[in-house]
Structure 1
Amino acid sequence: MKFKALLASTVLVGTLAACGTEEEKPEEAAATEPTEEKAEESTDVVTTASIVSEADALVKALSAEGTWIVATLNDITVDEEIVVSGEFHNKNDAAQDIYRKLAPYTQDEDHNVLERFTVTVPKMTVQSENFKVQAGTVKGDVFVEANGFTLTADATIDGNVYFASEDVKAAAVIEGKVTGAQEVGAASDVVTTASIVTEADALVEALSADGTWIVATLNDIKLDEEIVVDGEFYNKDDKSKGIYRKLAPYTQDEDHKVLERFTVEVPKMTVKSENFKVQAGTVKGDVYVQAKGFTLTADATIDGNVYFASEDVKAAAVMEGKVTGATEVKK
């Protein structure tokens, strides 16, 4: 057990020893520093960093109360938005530049990456200046509000990157891979007032009366309970644009072309929100429409039955997409 504990400590120090900028490699440090000073420096690097393996710890570590560098030891899925906030400096030294880093990987003493990890999150908002994502993958959309954002050549954002302004975009260094759009603002309706979900509970809440005007999914989702689409919402949360709500089980590129389509499987969906639209993807299950203005777009499918509460509700619906079962009034 003592050997395993020592080995784990060695790996952690190796992981973080080079996570800041302008660090000396181990062999260089050995030539210029006594052994005791070198050990002390390694300890300082670890104690001023967050090394996390759980979702809650990651959210806290990247908050304003967190640390200048955050390293993960495994893949982590977060069900809530991550907000990277606060001002930090390289190695927690105010004399050094403003700098912050997410390091979803491990490395050996020669700085060679050993394992790369994925942080899956519905949304990451970057408010810390000079924030860097290195080596691993962030799966989800990233909203950049601060200057100096960097995605290193060996890192990936499996999603879209939205910049708060042209200046913020110009100040970013995007060397790595971004699978989706890179643009100022939102390339689609998926903006900061939306819910971007990956889990069943989050989807139920997002479509409730306490949810949002648009709900987008990043994967297939299966639910064991009924979804009730409830509440009055407006297009882009702007009352001047009219009552409107949308379920968007898909991703798209900067030209609004659909990339991936997803399926929401549910035993029953009851629609109480007026002017509710299902676009692109698939709802697998029966849909009960109680409010006027329901729309199924031409590229969307309901793999089940659609029951309308009245003839008026049915007449007000726009059914361009595919319904595999019945489409009828059922009180």
Structure 2
Amino acid sequence: MYQVSLREARVGMVLAENVMTEDGQYLLLKAGQVLNRAMIQKLADREIMLISVADIYSLQINPIDQMQMVLEKAYRDAIRKYSSPQLVGNKRDDIPKIVKAMYENIGYICKDEMILNYCLQMRMVKERNLFQKAVETSVFSGLLAGVYGCDGDDMYDIMVGGLLHDSGCLEMVFLIGKAQKTPQEELLWKEHPTYGYYFAIQNNFSREMAEIIQYHEEHVDGSGYPKQLKGEEIPLGARIVAICSNITESIVYHGMKPYEALEIIYATSGIYFDSKLVNLFVGSIALYPMGALVRLSTGEIGVVTNIRKNHGARPIVNVHYNSFYKPLSQPKIVDLGEQRTIFIEEILD
């Protein structure tokens, strides 16, 4: 960066700093803008004599602009992981329509500077899984909200609530991902929904979003926190995000297989989680995408070819390679709904 007089300014130069009015109250031009004749004339009219420009070999990148691209890609990757543009690649025919509505919401989400600032903070903490968990919770929440019948502002609020549900954790970053907490740390951790609620209110997010953040740790039997709400006392969006957050936490933080995460949700359905929403999630959202190359617990390698026949995360797999990675002379069909002792060990991305 170096300073030049306005007489030396040339079309094509890149501003390295914001240009303000003489009293410093108003922004004339933003850092990163490429000067054109009209801009130079505007500065001359304002009697701006000196400007800071970037070295011609310097790349001008705003962290928020970079975060927007990262967030858009993270959303696209997560949606591709759990849905398909083809009808047969989903558990329900309406999933592509729901995904289209989600992409419209994502367009707005990724232009919101406050949301981008929060995502940037998540990316800066040492616990890198926080950002992945937030995005995947948001995607799951949008899908579940869609199959429940939510659309428009309701779906948007739930997706943003899913993305920001752990925003209060940024006030206690030293506890993020910590497996063993002291009693005092556990008490502090249970305050994160309240911290997140005030974060949302102070930054003018909707009441619905704020309540999703505040109540996503509540349980339908009243054993959750912070207010021990029961059943439908818990807002719908918070009940949706609670399920989706728990599934992503099990997969992202604890390294569980998707079917293991679903087993936990099933086991606590009606106790911690809304049983109707749990059944809707399991029957509607594919945790193993159609066409995915997977390794079975037998060591064999195959492709997911049918996700609709069986309930839950137990698709049909066409096995092409044995456990020694040798191709089979004839692919064999393994129906995980019938062969209950065999599981998908991992997706081979």
- Normalised to the residue count of structure 1, the TM-score between the two structures is 0.28
Q: Does 1 or 2 have the higher relative contact order (CA < 8 Å, sep 6+)?
A: 2
- Normalised to the residue count of structure 2, the TM-score between the two structures is 0.27
User: Which of the pair is proportionally richer in strand?
Assistant: 1
